[in-house]
């Protein structure tokens, strides 16, 4: 009996030691939990993103997102965020821009790209026109908030943000407002939101400086016939692309969504590279010469070494 007891006790000790060595279950830090502010108000929300000063929370009840200064939360919540900031940052960080496919780039292509970039970035190439691009990820607001064309607009917005390399939450201030609906609805929205915009056009876009937010505000108006009309989707795509700094069309690359004859409502590979060029290598308010220089210096290196003629010898 004593031998049996000793064996049983030994087995229990061995089992306890084995269990102790098992890795503890890692809690899901991004799962919804209760957060309370310094005034005692609580919401159930999940962490979308976090930095040293602020945390973005997505409320569980309606999926709306709110930015809170961390110091405005309860001491317990501040401790939770401080202890888990590194892990939360990794868990909530958006993926970086999709790498461009590797391929050979010839000097002939670079020469075409210089014209292509000027065509697309500068709708009018006369006078003192300058490039516009966002300095941070803009917020997107849609009217109506739901519906097929608004949903398509949100998908297109995400596609353009990814091409520009804009990951994570929107910056405070800059905003794009996309308005779709019947011509009568669009005319009313133009009168309310941007009275200087031509109300007779089926689609239009404009920028204006918002003194309240100290940032640019872009309006895109598209009169749509129905939610699934391909021509209307093309116009929504064109309007949002213009709001991202690509208002023009070109005839340099037939495969591009910015080709003058294209009916595409999404970016092609060459379009993604073009937008990446704009947001990584062209300064806001740059002119034609700066665009050409950026294309010549950077286009080939973005995907593969230049072969053949070489960029330096390509003619504009």
Tell which CATH classification among 3.40.720.10, 2.30.30.700, 1.10.3720.10, 3.40.50.2300 matches the domain 33-92. 2.30.30.700
Whether the Cβ atoms of residue 277 and residue 299 lie closer than 8 Å to each other: yes
Other C-beta atoms closer than 10 Å to the C-beta of 73 total: 19
Q: Residue 280 in 3-state DSSP?
A: helix
Digit-coded pLDDT (tens) for 228-283: 788 999 999 999 999 999 999 999 999 999 999 999 999 999 999 999 999 999 98
What band does 90 get if pLDDT is binned at 50, 70 and 90? low
The domain spans of the chain are 33-92, 105-313
Digit-coded pLDDT (tens) for 225-239: 776 788 999 999 999
pLDDT at 12: 55
Share of the chain above pLDDT 70, in %: 81
Whether the Cβ atoms of residue 86 and residue 79 lie closer than 8 Å to each other: no
pLDDT at 48: 83
Ordered strands of the 215-223 beta sheet: 139-143, 175-181, 215-223, 203-210
pLDDT at 241: 96
**Average pLDDT of the chain to the nearest whole number:** 81
Label residue 130 exposed, middle or buried (CB < 10 Å: 0-12, 13-18, 19+).
Answer: middle
pLDDT at 304: 58
Digit-coded pLDDT (tens) for 51-65: 767 788 888 887 777
């Amino acid at each position: 009996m004593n031998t049996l007891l000793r064996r049983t006790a030994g087995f229990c000790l061995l089992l306890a030691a084995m269990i102790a060595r098992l890795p503890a279950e890692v809690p899901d830090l991004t799962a919804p939990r209760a957060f309370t502010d310094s005034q005692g108000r609580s919401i159930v929300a999940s962490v979308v993103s976090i930095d040293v000063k602020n945390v973005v929370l997505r409320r569980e009840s309606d999926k709306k997102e709110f930015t809170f200064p961390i110091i405005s939360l309860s001491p317990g919540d501040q401790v939770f965020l401080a202890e888990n900031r590194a892990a939360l940052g990794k868990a909530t960080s958006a993926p970086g821009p999709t790498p461009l496919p590797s391929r050979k780039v010839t000097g002939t292509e670079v020469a075409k790209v210089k014209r292509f970039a000027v065509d697309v970035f500068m709708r009018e190439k006369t006078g003192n026109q300058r490039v516009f691009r966002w300095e941070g990820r803009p917020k997107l607001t849609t009217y109506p908030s739901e519906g097929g064309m608004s949903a398509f607009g949100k998908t297109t917005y995400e596609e353009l943000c990814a091409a520009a390399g804009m990951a994570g939450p929107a910056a405070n201030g800059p905003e794009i407002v996309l308005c779709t609906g019947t011509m009568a609805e669009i005319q009313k929205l133009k009168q309310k939101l941007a009275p200087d915009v031509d109300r007779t056009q089926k689609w239009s876009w404009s920028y204006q400086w918002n003194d309240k937010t100290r940032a640019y505000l872009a309006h895109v108006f598209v009169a749509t016939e129905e939610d699934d009309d391909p021509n209307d989707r093309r116009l929504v795509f064109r309007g949002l692309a213009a709001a991202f700094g690509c208002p023009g069309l070109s005839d340099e690359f037939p495969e591009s969504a910015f080709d003058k004859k294209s009916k595409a409502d999404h970016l092609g590979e060459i379009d993604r590279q073009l937008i990446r060029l704009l947001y990584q290598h062209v300064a806001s308010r740059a002119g034609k010469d700066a665009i050409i220089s950026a294309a010549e210096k950077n286009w080939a290196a973005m995907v593969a070494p230049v072969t053949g003629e070489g960029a330096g010898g390509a003619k504009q």
